[in-house]
Each structure stands twice: as structure tokens, then as C-alpha cells.
Amino acid sequence: MPPQRVRVLFVCLGNICRSPTAEVVFRDIAARAGLAGRLVVDSAGTGEWHVGNPPDYRAIEHAARRGYALEHLRARQVTGDDFRRFDYILAMDRNNLAALAALRPAQFPGHLGLFLDLAPHLRVHDVPDPYDEDAAAFEHMLDLIEDASCAFVRTLADGALAPGALR
């Protein structure tokens, strides 16, 4: 019997900068580590403003410079069904984590937390929202997401792949 797939959802506010970047970066790093077939990865936003839109053009451009393709993604909003579909729901910041906690069903068996908490060596909890910032903010966002993705992939590759292992 094939191993159960681990399902990971990355969440930010509008699903046009941080969470789609995390989706693609994490998926790419996991694939290079040989975990692609064992994961389902998606992203969503807590807000509804950008539903159906592609990621922010600056997120697309900065990610492309590092070899990541975001342009095919479309923003969507988190739904209650996501708590049934995903094992790990990872927020980009504490405000989005609070919004997710308010939606979380009492019986959710998965891990709900901050993405950067999976990379404590970074000594930061939130991926800052670059939307109203300059190019440096998009590069900083990518640096944090790449580092946290590498740390999470290492954790999964070291045997913590089972859902709920990070609780």
C-alpha cells in the first residue's frame, strides 16, 4: 500500500504574495528532496478580495528570478472544508493564524500554526507582508520562505511525515 500523502496548506491574507510563493517554493524544495509524490500542497487566503486573480506581479517577478513559477496559480479563500482536507495549515503571520483559529473546527486533528515556527533558527514568527513595500521586502519574503521550506522538508524527510507529527 502506498504511503499516505501529507497535505499542506499555506495561508496569508489575500493569497497573492506570501502563501502562493510558499506553495511553489515548498513544492519545489520537496520535489528536489524526493518527497513530491508524498505531498499535496496548496495555498489560500483568509480574505476574499483577490479570489480568482493571479499572484501579485511583483511576487511572480521576484520568484521567477529564483526559478519559481507562480503565474499559473489563482487566489482562493480558505473554507471550512480545508480543515478536513489538510494535515498542516500554516499561516504566514499571527493575524492570519488568529483568523484561522476562529474558523477551526473543534475536531480538527491536524497542525494549525505559523509557518516560520517550523524554522526556529530564523528567530522570527511572521513572514512580513510585502504588498505595500518595495522590492527588498519581496526578496526578504522569499529568503524566509526558502529557509522555512528547507527546514520543514528536512523534518518531513527525517520521518515526521505522518500527519500530526508536529503537534
Given a contact cutoff of 8 angstroms between Cβ atoms, the answer to whether 44 and 15 are in contact is: yes
| pLDDT the model gives residue 3 | 61
Query: Is residue 118 in a domain?
Result: yes
Query: Is residue 96 in a domain?
Result: yes
Does 150 qualify as catalytic in the annotation?
no
Does 18 qualify as catalytic in the annotation?
yes
Given 28, 56, 126, 129, the catalytic residue: 129
Domain limits at 39? 6-160
- How many domains, the chain? 1
| pLDDT the model gives residue 2 | 55
| pLDDT the model gives residue 8 | 98
Query: Is residue 1 in a domain?
Result: no
Query: Is residue 11 in a domain?
Result: yes
Q: pLDDT of the chain along its 167 residues, tens only?
A: 456 789 999 999 999 999 999 999 999 999 999 998 999 999 999 999 999 999 999 999 999 999 999 999 999 999 999 999 999 999 999 999 999 999 999 999 999 999 999 999 999 999 999 999 999 999 999 999 999 999 999 998 887 555 555 54
CA distance 74 to 167: 30
| pLDDT the model gives residue 96 | 98
Does 42 qualify as catalytic in the annotation?
no
User: Which residues neighbour 16 within 8 Å (Cβ) at sequence distance 6 or greater?
Assistant: 45, 50, 53, 54, 55, 56, 59, 75, 131
The CATH number for 41's domain is 3.40.50.2300
Given 17, 18, 58, 76, the catalytic residue: 18
Given a contact cutoff of 8 angstroms between Cβ atoms, the answer to whether 116 and 94 are in contact is: no
| pLDDT the model gives residue 157 | 87
The secondary structure element, H or E, covering residue 113 is strand 111-114
| pTM score, whole prediction | 0.94
Query: Is residue 167 in a domain?
Result: no
Grid cell digits, residue 6: 501529507
Query: Is residue 166 in a domain?
Result: no
Query: Is residue 23 in a domain?
Result: yes
| pLDDT the model gives residue 12 | 98
Query: Is residue 78 in a domain?
Result: yes
Given a contact cutoff of 8 angstroms between Cβ atoms, the answer to whether 69 and 25 are in contact is: no
Given 12, 58, 93, 126, the catalytic residue: 12
